[in-house]
Amino acid sequence: MSCGISAKRSLPSNPGALIFLAFLLIALLSPYLAPHDPWKRYEPYLGPSRDHPLGTNDMGNDILSELMFGSRVSLGVGLGAAIIATLMGTIIGASAGYFRGWMDEVLMGITDIFLMIPQIPLVIVVAAFLKPSAIMITLIMGLLWWTSLARIVRSRVLQVREMAFVEAAKVIGFPDRHIILTDVLPNTIHVIMPKFMLTVASAMIAEASLSFLGLGDPNAKSWGMMINFAFSRGGFLNGCWWWYMPPGICITLSVLSLVSMSMLLEESREDEHVAS
Amino acid sequence: MNLARYVISLFVILSLNFAIPRAMPGDTMTNLLGEDVILSDDLVQEIRREMGLDLPLREQYIIYWKEILRMNLGYSYHFHSPVLPLVLERMKWTLLLAAPPVIIGALLGTLLGALAGWRDSPSTRLQTFIFLTIYSTPPYFLALLSLYIFGFHLGWVPMKGFYSTGSAGNIIHHIMLPVILMSLFSASRNYMIMRGSVIQERRSLYALYARAKGLYDSQILFRHLFRNAILPIITLIALDFGFIFSGALFIEMVFSMHGMGNLIYSALMYRDYPVLQGSFLIITIMVITANMIADALYGLLDPRVRGR
């Protein structure tokens, strides 16, 4: 498969990939990297100083430490939701595209209906009924956001299933499950990956938006929750930029890195397409 | 065929609306009335009977549909008003906020996106970066920042929303910044897609042929590529309508504007479930309608679809 080669060559040098890797490392290593316990209270409303590089909030929590631990929640929710959504979208899209017939009709009919429901309002309604927790939010988003991926996977699988090696595998008599897993999906992965990254990105933005509505997990301080606290507890009006700017910048930067990686993969795929 | 799809969607969504309060944890009546309501035990029994909650689910479902057909979406005890007129009154203002950005964003995004996809230069690369950054920022965060800068520090725009009593000039003064922000968001999405779309079309044979024929660059772009590249955008604008609308909700909350966003925000504060569900229902119906219109438009613009 030459599909991934040009992308692999350029991905490590892409600033987006580097930034995202850095965020991942911070999330994994936050207990070792963070200068303070994010729940411990110091003097409130402190500006940036040597001891507290990003100052403290109204509760006196160290903001840099909050930021580092927050990356775990924000990235965790984003990645978790995207993994669930991608698995569902891939299974549904691949089954619809591979088996065709009534299965295609039914699965795509369901997809079309879900595609039309405005996601954020539905998530708001469902989340309002449930007790907010990070896992719950991940699940809700993951179970709702597979629709566009299912469509993309299906149209790719429709192409792949007509290719000679798939027909060969059918003639040899391999079971369908085997063909899908070893022949069809490996040739679909390059359309799944860019979409996966976009899903992580939009799940992160959605998590931040839900937190802003007070539907986030109050026990897990995500970046969105930090902005929410800064907004509702007067961080903006008191001009504590060190309080609300860092979480906002972190969200934008990590989403930006994901979107640019996704774009790079898409474009290298298209170059490949033209070259062949 | 397509109409059937929309009717089925609507049916499924209305059924979902029936199922959600009954499937969620907690007492169904609380889920239907909202947690802001405090009632005596006698009254609870009476309302339970009145709402038919002691009936089997199948009968409740039939009653639910009868009420829907009578345009009854329930009563909000928090706002002391039936849900439907409450939501529709707010909807006007949200549409006023959301409609101009859909159009401005479509024009700005497709035009700049087409140019950026056509020619790669430092200025288009900068443009792409700017739109990418806007695309990557949660709408409410950008709204908070600009409210802080332009409202609080510079005093160019008012700090608080607009109300139905204001004069036209007053409303424009209040709605200016939110509309600009929403247009940027809408433009950023259309920009990214149009750019990708033109990059793809640029490599097709008919573009090469047009060049071989000796057409000018701008002629190739606007007479040939644009027409094909714009097609995915039309469906997208419709699908995006839901997104734009959600964005408008958050921007309304930040700017304390009189619209759906603040209605949903206070409904969330008081766990006023009927209003939440009613809002969701109306928003969904609007999005479905937008999709239907887009479908019809698509048919008008794309002769391949028109023939079918």
Taking only the tens place, the pLDDT of each residue in A170-198 is 888 888 888 988 888 998 998 899 999 99
Query: Which helix or strand (DSSP H or E) is residue A29 part of?
Result: helix A15-33
With contact defined as beta carbons under 8 Å apart, do A235 and A225 qualify?
A: no
**A113, A230 Cβ separation under 8 angstroms:** no
Determine the Cα–Cα distance for residues B214 and A225; give it in Å rounded to an integer: 57
Stretch B35-55: mean pLDDT:
74
Q: DSSP string of B283-303?
A: HHHHHHHHHHHHHHHHHHH-H
Contact B112, B191 (CB under 8 A): yes
Beta bridge mates, B76: B81
Our CA angle for B185, B162, B143, nearest 5°, is 30
Count of helices and strands (H, E) across chain A: 12, 0
Average pLDDT over residues B256-279: 85
CA distance A258 to A2: 23
Report the alpha-carbon distance of residue B260 to residue B92 in Å, rounded: 9
Chain A partners within 8 Å of B251 (Cβ): none
Nearest-angstrom CA–CA distance, B144 and B157:
13
Q: In B, residues 122-151, which contact A (CB 8 Å cutoff)?
A: 132-133, 135-141, 144-145, 148
Residue of A77, A123, A124, A131 to mutate, interface with B, max B Cβ within 10 Å: A124
* ipTM above 0.85 for this complex: no
Q: Does A125 lie at the interface with B, CB-CB under 8 angstroms? A: yes
Residue A167: count of CB within 10 angstroms of its CB: 13
Give the pLDDT confidence of A99-129 residue by residue, as tens digits.
Answer: 988 999 899 988 888 888 888 888 888 888 8
Other beta carbons within 10 angstroms of residue B171's beta carbon come to 16
pTM: 0.86
A79 CB-near residues (< 8 Å, 6+ apart): A200
What is the model's pLDDT at position B209?
Answer: 77
The two three-digit tokens of residue B173, written as one number: 């003064």
pLDDT at A208 over 50: yes
d(CA A220, CA A19): 23
CA–CA gap between residue B274 and residue B76 (Å, rounded): 6
A269 pLDDT exceeds 60?
Answer: yes
**Structure-token pair, residue B285:** 């119906």
Task: Select the residue of A122, A130, A274 nearest B203 (Cβ to Cβ).
Answer: A274
Domains recognised in chain B with CATH numbers = 2-70 (no CATH), 92-268 (1.10.3720.10)
Residue A135, SS3 per DSSP: helix
Domain at A64-275, CATH homologous superfamily? MetI-like (1.10.3720.10)
Which residues 131-150 in chain A show a CB within 8 A of chain B? Answer: none
A106 touches chain B (CB under 8 A): no
- Model confidence at A163: pLDDT above 50: yes
The pLDDT assigned to B303 comes to: 66
Q: Where are the domains of chain A?
A: 64-275
Closest CA to A191 of A4, A16, A2: A4
